[in-house]
Chains A and B, each alone.
Chain A
Amino acid sequence: MSTQAHLVDNNMEKVARHLLDEAMLRETSDEKDVFGRSVFNRYYYATFLNVKEGLSGLKKEWEGNLAHASIPEMLRGQIQSELKRGLAKAKRASDSEVASLCSRAITATKSLATLMEVGRTLRVTADYHPEVAIDFSIGPYFHLNEFSVEDAKSWAPRARIFVNTISHAWKQVYA
């Protein structure tokens, strides 16, 4: 998979944006709620697809083998450890550019792990907790469990930047 693929919007984000527009246009609160929670769901899946595709490329055994719940744990565990090893190797070889890239990638694993946890929890809220209603009282769009849909909109582009950094560092050490 090319790195370029990480940097472009995926189709799921287009679906989410369409649903967001629909949620704002709907007139009954029931319909607004259903469309609104679907937006959070689709933005999470858009993010998950980008992350899954990016991380699958790091190791053969991870190809098509990444579960939602395991991603944060993997980022904080295996991936971070390998990058720390890469950082040590780069320092030993006096490769300051790759050492700096590995440091940034380690920060990216932490941020991406948190992002995926928050995203997944809001996806679970949207899908399985109808008692937590979508709140349209705070503009300009809407909130779910006090998270703005604008946060959700930023998940995928944010994740793509983190994955891009992790993939680049990984390749410079383990290709």
Chain B
Amino acid sequence: MLNSSEITVFLQEKNITVSGVPIKDKEVANRFFIFTAVSRDSENRQIPSNKKLDEARLQLAEHSIVIEFLLTDPQSRDIEAGLRATLLHSFGNDLRNIFLSLENSKASIWLDPKRSLEKGTLKLIEEKSQIFLKELEIEIQSISLTTNENLPGLLISLRAIRQTAPVDLPTLSQELVRRGFTIPSEDWLRRKLDQMRKSGKVARLENGRYVLTLSSLRELGTVKGRSSPDVQRMLAIARGR
């Protein structure tokens, strides 16, 4: 049975760099966690490749050793630190922290704001991030903001209407609150329903109640089984009796 140092030597001979020492698991016998630093070549391919890592894993399995590679990316850590310093320098009053997920030269940026950010500020943050990352040939995939906003979106509103239709405004509002959302006011919900009506998602009946249009019903689709919207609708009707 190979020990921790022998595993390191075995991997290094295959040009797989081990960061620190292999860590033996306490739950699964002969399983080791190996931190491996990865980098990218000029064509953005991971070094060492997953194929190479899999081959090493299989060869070690022949010695009854189970390997879990944990890939670390020192370059990505440096980029995150650089972006954080850049943004905190300019937006220190707005942002508490900035994190980065990097995958194939595409960045997802995660912002932890100190307060609610205005659209203009967010735009400036995006521009600054773009300037910084462009130098490194990295494209921004998304910028996410932690938020306590709890307003229902279009999809969940349509699902709630489907379940309770034909539904009046106060009942729909109650249903969305029951699902854990905040409804600022009935007027807010009315405007939202108006937008849905104009885009052909819902129809308003003469009695003021709302139903889904046929195209909306088709878009939402259905499933068989316990989670079927038809079953949920039956249960909702029974609850309302």
Which residues of A come within 8 Å of B, CB atoms?
A: 3-4, 6-7, 69, 89-90, 92-95, 97-98, 100-101, 103-104, 107-108, 110-111, 114, 117-118, 121, 124-125, 128-129, 132, 145-147, 151, 154, 157-158, 160-162, 164-165, 168, 171-173, 175
Binds A, one of B116-124, B138-146, B203-211: B138-146
The secondary structure that dominates the A interface is: helix
- Among B23, B110, B179, the residue within 8 A (CB) of A132 is B23
Name which residue of chain A comes closest to B176, CB basis: A175
Contact B155 A89 (CB under 8 A): yes
Given contacts A97-B153, A128-B26, A171-B180, contact A164 B220 (CB under 8 A): no
Which residues of B come within 8 Å of A, CB atoms?
A: 19-21, 23-27, 33, 35, 68, 70-72, 77, 96-97, 99, 101, 103, 108, 110, 112, 141-142, 144, 146-148, 150, 152-156, 158, 179-181, 199, 201, 216, 219-221
Contact A165 B144 (CB under 8 A): yes
Contacts of A124 in B (CB 8 A): 23, 25-26, 33
Contact B221 A104 (CB under 8 A): no
Name which residue of chain A comes closest to B110, CB basis: A161
A69 to B33, alpha carbons, bound, how many Å?
13
Contact B35 A145 (CB under 8 A): yes
Knowing that A7-B146, A98-B154 are A-B contacts, what are 12 other residue pairs whose CB atoms are under 8 Å apart, sorted by A's residue number? A100-B142, A118-B35, A121-B70, A132-B21, A157-B96, A160-B112, A161-B99, A164-B147, A165-B144, A168-B147, A175-B152, A175-B156
Given contacts A107-B142, A124-B23, A175-B179, contact A154 B99 (CB under 8 A): yes
Shortest beta-carbon distance from B112 to chain A in Å: 6
Given contacts A124-B26, A129-B24, A157-B97, contact A146 B33 (CB under 8 A): no
A164 to B155, alpha carbons, bound, how many Å?
19
A103 to B101, alpha carbons, bound, how many Å?
13
Shortest beta-carbon distance from A98 to chain B in Å: 5
Shortest beta-carbon distance from A139 to chain B in Å: 15
Shortest beta-carbon distance from A42 to chain B in Å: 18
A103 to B144, alpha carbons, bound, how many Å?
11
Contact A69 B154 (CB under 8 A): no
- Among A7, A94, A108, A165, the residue within 8 A (CB) of B154 is A94
